[in-house]
Structure 1
Amino acid sequence: MAVNMNKREPQQTIFLVFLVLHVLFHGAISSTTTPDSTNTTDSTTDSTAPSTTVTTTVPTTTTTTVPTTTTTTIAPLLPPSELDLNSLTSQCPCDLTGNACDVSCCCDEDCTADDKKAFTSCLPFSTDVDDRVCFRKEIILFENSDPIVSEITDDNLFCIYYDNKEERNFYTNPDLVQTLSTFNEYKAEFPVFSFQSDPITTVSFDSPFYKSGDPIYTVLESLAVGKLGLPRTSNTVECVDDNPAGYLLDESHTCTRSIENLTLECEGAVALDANTFINGFRVVTSPQLFQVFNVTVPGTDNYFSLYNNSYTVAVELDNQTTTVDPIQCIFNATSTGPCGYTSLPSPILGTNTCNNVVRQVHYRIMTEGTTGIFKVLVRFVLSDIPVSASSTASFTQTFSSTFEDTSSSGEPFKRSGNPGYAVGEPVLAGTLNQTNIGDTPVDVILINPNRDRYMTVVRASATGDCVTDSDSRMSVVFGQSVRTGCVLRVSATNLTQYCALMQQTIIDTMEFDSIPEVTSSGFRDNNRYVGLYGNSDVTKTGDWVKILYVNQLVPSAPTTGTSACQLTLGMHIQILYANIGALVNPQPKIIGVSFIYDSATAVQIRPTLVGEYNQPIEVTTSVAFIDVSKPAVGYEGEPPIFLAKLPYDFFYPFISGASTPQSVLSSFLPLVLVVLLTVSRVL
Structure 2
Amino acid sequence: MLSPSSISRQVICVLLLFSLAHTRNVVVFQPSYLTATGPAASALLLGNTSDTSLNLRTVSPSNTTGSIGPPSCVPGVTQWVLTREQVGKNAVRIQLRLDKNLRLCGENETDTDCCRKPLCVLETLQVSACVGGTPQASLLIQVKIHARLVPANTGSDNKTAIPNQVHQPLGSCPCDLTFRACDVRCCCDKDCSVEDLKLFASHCLPGPFGGQVSPAPDYQCSVQSSENSPDWFPFLCVSSSPENNPYLGLFYHGDTIPSKPGPTFQRPVLSAPVPVNVYIQGSPILTLNDQYFTIPQKVLGQCVNSAPVAFLKNFKVKCVTLLRNCPTGSPLQTLPMDLRMLVKSGQGGDVIVDVTDEVATDLSQFISSTDAVASSDERPVCKNVTLALDYKFYWKGNGITNITLTRTVGTIPLNGSVVLTTRYSAVFLNGEFMGEPNSGNPGYQVGRPVIAGIVDTLDNDTGLQRTSINLWKPVSDGLCSTNEKKPVLFGENSTSGCLLAISRQNLTQCNLLRETVTSLQAALTLATYVARSGNPDPLTVKDWVNISFVTLNSSTASEDTINSCYGIPSHQHIHVWSLITDMVEGIPQRDIHALQVSYSLSTWALDCGGGDVSPCVDPVETQLFPITSSVTFTDIPINTGPPKTRFQINFTEYDCNRNDVCWSELAFPITKYYTGEPYSQSLAKGLIMVFLFITASILGTPWRQIRQVWNSATL
Q: TM-score, normalised by structure 2?
A: 0.46
Q: Which has the higher contact order (CA 8 A, sep 6+)?
A: 1
Q: TM-score, normalised by structure 1?
A: 0.48
Going by fraction, where is strand more abundant, 1 or 2?
Answer: 2
